[in-house]
Amino acid sequence: MCGIVGYVGQRDVVSVLLKGLTNLEYRGYDSAGIALQDSGDIKVYKSLGKLINLKNELEQRRAEIKQPIAGIGHIRWATHGSPSLVNAHPHSCTCGKLVVVHNGIIENYKELREELSKKGCEFRSQTDTETIAHLVADEYSKTKNLELAVRNSVKKLQGAYAVCVMHKDVPNLIIGARKHAPMLVGVGEGENFIASDTPAIIEYTKRTIYLEDNEIAVVTKDTVKVTDIEGNVVTKKVETLPWEPMALSKLGYKHFMLKEIHEQPDVIRNVLNGKLYDIDEPIALNEVKLDSEILKKLNKIEIIACGTSLHAALVGKYIIEDFAGISVEVEASSEYIYRKTTTDASTLVIGVSQSGETADTITAIKQAKAKGSHVLIITNRPDSNMARLADSLIPVNAGIEVSVAATKSYIAQVISFYLLAMHLAEIKGSIDKSYLKNLKHELIQLPTKIEEVLSNTTTIQECARKFSSYKNFIYIARGVNLASAFEGALKLKEISYINATGYAAGELKHGPIAMLDETMPVLSILIPGGITYEKVLSNSEEAKARNAKLIALTSSNDKNIDVLFDVVLRIPQVSEILSPAITCVPLQLLAYYIAEFLGKDVDQPRNLAKSVTVE
Ligand code: F6R
């Protein structure tokens, strides 16, 4: 979703802004723009679509760009008003001297717009953001103090904002403010940056100051001052980013998604590192800050998440109930926040999120905290808003994920749930010790097994080619792999735009079977050794009897499978309970190769954003 970058300093401002926006591109956007300030003027450049269009626009108008000393840039994902040039940011006040870029949604923008229009402000766009430009300009006309004008203005805003402001009459200065949307300052030598997320600045500095809600940063090339909304100076810690700029390179892979799929064995090793090092030792999950006496008595967990993280949560539910015997509810954050829940102080609430910035999950977490629950956050971004709300925090350490479709963060979340479930089971004494030892051993072996899958993708690629022209798919599984079916189908949908739905295999007969014919392939997840294998096999036979083409994803060597199924995707032997940590990989690859074969924009699928920071 939208991204912001601002820069003040000696470097080529255009290049810094374009690089910053390029590094935020993965978040998804429909238009882009920058405002450049030179010693005498502020000029705005915008374009629709990808950043290349903005680069071309800047190239064509290069002659009019003098020596900018500061600038702000934005990529927009439309919320208020269609994706269009006029709605793209930056937005200006009536006289054009003041410019703003904004992430978030201003809820009271209609009232403010009416008031400001009456005062003579000329609105040009349909956005809520333009209101901020006029509002700050109006305040500035009264005080002639830009910092005060921003403070007075943000007090009037309702909703969410990360906003950056520049004014022609106050050169060499950018002011940033935030509430319910992330914003940080990148600290340099004789230069400073401001951004909505770290990738925007990582090429230039790793030193960052994270703004909290209602804080305002006043940034020049040599100084950074942070105040609260009343103007009191706040002393902030300068933190060092854990990422390397390398993380933003494809390293020879055609797409970030493919690179991130291939990183998964190392991601698992990272997650296990320091937590599971010896099968005879208990899981070391010191991140869970609840007393073991409380954990022993714990009998209710609620997990809230969205999208792919919700699927990891479903795996989590299955294994926590299986290993630790604790009742677990899983709910989409967007549903949780609009109903009367039974969450109370004795409930452990787990929030799962790759970005740590998903608006619905943040709201859900706040609601749970208000009810007195201990909140455990499992996230890939320990620097995120959600992480800061956590009572306990499990960072999943997957490294920055650029492709919009989540892959390595999913596997890291799933592995984190295995560790958590084992940890809870050890505290409660609810699991057979030798069984647990075997599971730990298998978990340590998983990266090697996934490397085996990744080292030979020929069958998956052939399958992708064979099935890429189908318009609909059904994925079936039972038990712990039901989440894998949901996740596999989601991956296919989001990057290839093919309709795919995951069903509990036993539900097929209760409706979906009516859709089956030769145009509807069915992909079955079959892991032998467990209780569901035979069942999924017979559900697949029922599909075959309706002429559906069949794809198996299995660790079985049974020759009958080769007879029944049109294509068999084989994975190494794995126990059923741990299998979601490996079945996800060929499903990601299948989705990837189908989308790639169809020529889709794999890393930035249409209409999607990497981080959904609005409800
Ligand atoms: C799918 C995908 C989304 C996210 C969802 C939640 O590949 O990436 O479904 O999983 O938007 O995002 P996070 O995990 O950042 O809260």
Are 395 and 276 members of one domain?
yes
Are 291 and 225 members of one domain?
no
Are 265 and 237 members of one domain?
no
Distance 604 CA to ligand 1 centre (A): 13
In a domain, 602, yes or no: no
In a domain, 398, yes or no: yes
Cβ neighbourhood burial of 86 (10 Å; 0-12, 13-18, 19+): middle
Model pLDDT, residue 78: 83
Model pLDDT, residue 66: 85
Are 419 and 557 members of one domain?
no
Convert the pLDDT of each residue in 28-59 to its tens digit: 788 999 999 998 899 999 999 999 999 999 99
Are 254 and 176 members of one domain?
no
Give me the mean pLDDT over the 296-315 stretch: 96
The CB of 406 under 6 Å from ligand 1? The reply is yes
The CB of 532 under 6 Å from ligand 1? The reply is no
Q: How confident is residue 332, by pLDDT bands cut at 50, 70 and 90?
A: very high
Strand locations in 114-187 (E)? 161-167, 174-179, 184-187
Distance 335 CA to ligand 1 centre (A): 15
Rounded (5°) CA angle 334-339-345: 100
Which atom of ligand 1 sits closest to the CA of residue 305? 16
Convert the pLDDT of each residue in 146-192 to its tens digit: 999 999 999 999 988 999 999 999 999 999 999 988 899 999 999 99
Cβ neighbours of residue 479 closer than 8 Å, sequence gap 6 or more: 318, 530, 531, 532, 576
In a domain, 609, yes or no: no
Are 444 and 313 members of one domain?
yes
The CB of 92 under 6 Å from ligand 1? The reply is no
Which atom of ligand 1 sits closest to the CA of residue 611? 15
Distances (CA, A) of 573 to 243, 462, 578: 35, 22, 11
Convert the pLDDT of each residue in 236-266 to its tens digit: 999 988 777 667 778 889 999 999 999 999 9
Residue 548 has pLDDT above 80, yes or no: yes
The CB of 355 under 6 Å from ligand 1? The reply is yes
The CB of 308 under 6 Å from ligand 1? The reply is yes
Residue 614 has pLDDT above 90, yes or no: no
**Residue whose CA lies nearest to ligand 1 atom number 7:** 405
Residue 1 has pLDDT above 80, yes or no: no
Are 484 and 397 members of one domain?
no
Are 398 and 506 members of one domain?
no
The CB of 353 under 6 Å from ligand 1? The reply is yes
Distances (CA, A) of 276 to 271, 323, 436, 483, 584: 9, 16, 12, 24, 22
Amino acid at site 268: I
In a domain, 614, yes or no: no
DSSP 431: S
In a domain, 611, yes or no: no
User: How many domains is the chain partitioned into structurally?
Assistant: 3
> What is the extent of the structural domain holding 529?
458-597
Q: Give me the helices (H) in 179-291, please.
A: 256-262, 264-272
Work out the percent of the chain whose per-residue pLDDT is above 90.
86
Domain end position, chosen among 195, 227, 247 = 247
The CB of 613 under 6 Å from ligand 1? The reply is no
Which range has the worst mean pLDDT, 235-244, 322-331, 348-357? Answer: 235-244
In a domain, 417, yes or no: yes
Model pLDDT, residue 242: 72
Q: How confident is residue 563, by pLDDT bands cut at 50, 70 and 90?
A: very high
Domain end position, chosen among 229, 247, 265 = 247
Are 289 and 413 members of one domain?
yes
Q: Is 359 left (phi over 0), alpha (psi -120 to 50) or beta?
A: alpha
Residue 609 has pLDDT above 80, yes or no: no
Which atom of ligand 1 sits closest to the CA of residue 409? 14
Model pLDDT, residue 252: 86
Mean pLDDT of the chain: 94
Domain end position, chosen among 418, 433, 452 = 452
> Tokens 């069903």, residue?
503
Which atom of ligand 1 sits closest to the CA of residue 379? 14
Model pLDDT, residue 384: 86
Q: How confident is residue 549, by pLDDT bands cut at 50, 70 and 90?
A: very high
Q: How confident is residue 27, by pLDDT bands cut at 50, 70 and 90?
A: confident
Model pLDDT, residue 80: 80
Are 261 and 367 members of one domain?
yes
Convert the pLDDT of each residue in 497-518 to its tens digit: 999 999 999 999 999 999 999 9
Residue 77 has pLDDT above 90, yes or no: no
Distance 309 CA to ligand 1 centre (A): 6
Q: Which has the closest alpha carbon to 15: 28, 25, 30, 5?
A: 5
Are 243 and 257 members of one domain?
no
Residues serving a catalytic function are 2, 610
The CB of 309 under 6 Å from ligand 1? The reply is yes
For the chain, give me the number of helices (H) and strands (E)?
Answer: 19, 24
Distance 360 CA to ligand 1 centre (A): 11
In a domain, 39, yes or no: yes
Q: How confident is residue 448, by pLDDT bands cut at 50, 70 and 90?
A: very high
The CB of 358 under 6 Å from ligand 1? The reply is yes
Give me the mean pLDDT over the 389-413 stretch: 95
Distance 406 CA to ligand 1 centre (A): 6
**Residue whose CA lies nearest to ligand 1 atom number 5:** 307
Return the CATH number at 370: 3.40.50.10490
In a domain, 255, yes or no: yes
Give me the mean pLDDT over the 560-581 stretch: 96
Test site for ligand 1: of 355, 417, 587, most ligand atoms within 8 A of the Cβ:
355
Are 280 and 420 members of one domain?
yes
